[in-house]
Each structure stands twice: as structure tokens, then as C-alpha cells.
């Protein structure tokens, strides 16, 4: 069994001694803060001791790097938001321009074995550009012209899924496409046209 001796009151520090120790500890901590921590971490050197010890320069570098990192982060967020806005705006503008670039858009559907014609009434020297795409299957086509006893074939295709190009009317008359679905499925054709022509004629 252990015996614990009661301490003698004379051996304990007095209240004044405790106060003095506390004051010394606070002063020491303040000196460390002012002369070491502030210069080394924040570049703040009110006593000049940090500059002598080389701590102030280190703190200034840390502060500058932190400021640059925050600035880069803010710029990145701004650029990211701007880039998303620019991408959305470009998509909208390009879509609008793509629609405006064509004078007419014609869409039609052909069952297996069906055919139709799309003709442009043009005068000699008129020009036209076109693009078309077939979905659901393939299509046969014949791009030709006739009028005033004349005829001309511009292009033919079998089992095609898309096409694009342009032509200049060699004479007054009807210039355009004969379409026939020789596939076994329903085919939808979207034709876009721009150029100089007076009328579009559709026939079965």
C-alpha cells in the first residue's frame, strides 16, 4: 500500500509567483509571435528581427504565392463560366446561321417503290447549291434538267444516303431531282437548297 504525503504549503508556489510566471509566459509567446511567426508566415516584421533572421522574406514569398493561387483560381472559374457561355452562344449562332444559309428546306418520305420529283424553275445562267440526306434507308436519284426541247443530266446515284453540290442552269427550264425508293424500308429525305430560282415544283 502506497502512502501519499501531503505537500507542505511552503513548497507550493505563491499566487504572486504564479502571476509572474504567467506574465513571463505571455511575454515570451508574444515575442515569439512578433519576431518569428508573423515574419515567417505573413511577411509582417514589426521588430526587424525577422529580416535579420531571413524569416520575413520567406513569409513574403508565402503570402505572394497564396495571393497568386487565389487569383488563378478566380480567373479559372471566370474563364470556365465564360467558356461555357461562349460555347453555348457559338452553338446558337452557328445553328441560326446554318438555318439562314439555305433558302428552302424540303422533307419528304417515300415508301418502298415510291418516287417523287423536286424541280427548280430557273433561267439560263442561274445557279443553285444543295445538300441532302436520306434517313431510314437508301435512295436512287437523278439530278437533271429539261426545257425548250433541251435536256441535261447533272448527276445520278443509286443506293445513296446523302449528297451535296451545285450547278448552273445551261438553259431556261426545270432543273432538279427524280427520287425513287428501291429499298425495303421507308426512307425520309431532307433537301436544303439555296440559289437563284423562281419556283419550286413538287410532283409525285
> What value, to the nearest 5°, has the Cα angle with vertex 188 and ends 184 and 193?
140
Beta bridge partners of 174: 121, 146
Q: Would you call 11 helix, strand, or coil by DSSP?
A: helix
More confidently predicted of 154 and 26: 154
Q: According to the model, what pLDDT value does residue 2 have?
A: 46
Tell me: pLDDT of 106 over 60.
Answer: yes
Q: According to the model, what pLDDT value does residue 1 have?
A: 47
**Distance separating alpha carbons of residues 118 and 107, to the nearest angstrom:** 11
Taking residues 138-154, what's their average pLDDT?
95
Per-residue pLDDT tens over the stretch 12-39 = 667 777 778 787 877 877 777 767 777 7
Predicted TM-score (pTM) above 0.85: no
Tell me: pLDDT of 3 over 60.
Answer: no
Per-residue pLDDT tens over the stretch 58-68 = 766 766 776 77
**Distance separating alpha carbons of residues 116 and 188, to the nearest angstrom:** 12
CB of 191 closer than 8 Å to CB of 139: no
Quick one: pLDDT band at residue 126, thresholds 50, 70, 90? very high
The closest of 193, 200, 185 to 109, measured between CA atoms, is 185
Quick one: pLDDT band at residue 87, thresholds 50, 70, 90? low
CB of 142 closer than 8 Å to CB of 151: no
Give 144's DSSP letter. Answer: E
Amino acid at each position: 500500500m502506497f502512502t501519499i504525503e501531503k505537500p507542505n504549503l511552503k513548497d507550493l508556489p505563491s499566487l504572486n509567483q504564479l502571476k509572474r510566471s504567467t506574465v513571463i509566459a505571455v511575454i515570451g509567446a508574444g515575442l515569439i509571435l512578433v519576431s518569428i511567426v508573423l515574419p515567417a508566415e505573413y511577411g509582417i516584421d514589426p521588430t526587424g528581427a525577422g529580416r535579420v533572421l531571413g524569416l520575413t522574406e520567406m513569409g513574403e514569398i508565402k503570402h505572394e504565392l497564396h495571393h497568386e493561387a487565389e487569383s488563378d483560381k478566380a480567373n479559372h472559374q471566370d474563364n470556365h463560366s465564360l467558356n461555357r457561355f461562349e460555347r453555348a452562344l457559338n452553338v446558337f449562332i452557328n445553328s441560326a446561321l446554318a438555318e439562314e444559309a439555305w433558302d428552302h428546306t424540303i422533307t419528304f418520305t417515300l415508301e418502298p417503290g415510291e418516287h417523287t420529283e423536286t424541280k427548280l424553275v430557273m433561267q439560263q445562267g442561274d445557279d443553285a447549291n444543295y445538300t441532302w440526306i436520306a434517313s431510314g434507308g437508301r435512295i436512287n436519284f437523278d439530278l437533271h434538267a429539261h426545257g425548250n426541247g433541251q435536256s441535261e443530266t447533272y448527276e445520278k446515284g443509286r443506293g445513296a444516303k446523302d449528297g451535296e453540290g451545285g450547278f448552273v442552269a445551261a438553259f431556261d427550264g426545270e432543273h432538279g431531282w427524280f427520287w425513287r425508293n428501291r429499298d425495303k424500308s421507308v426512307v425520309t429525305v431532307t433537301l436544303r437548297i439555296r440559289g437563284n430560282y423562281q419556283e419550286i415544283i413538287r410532283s409525285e
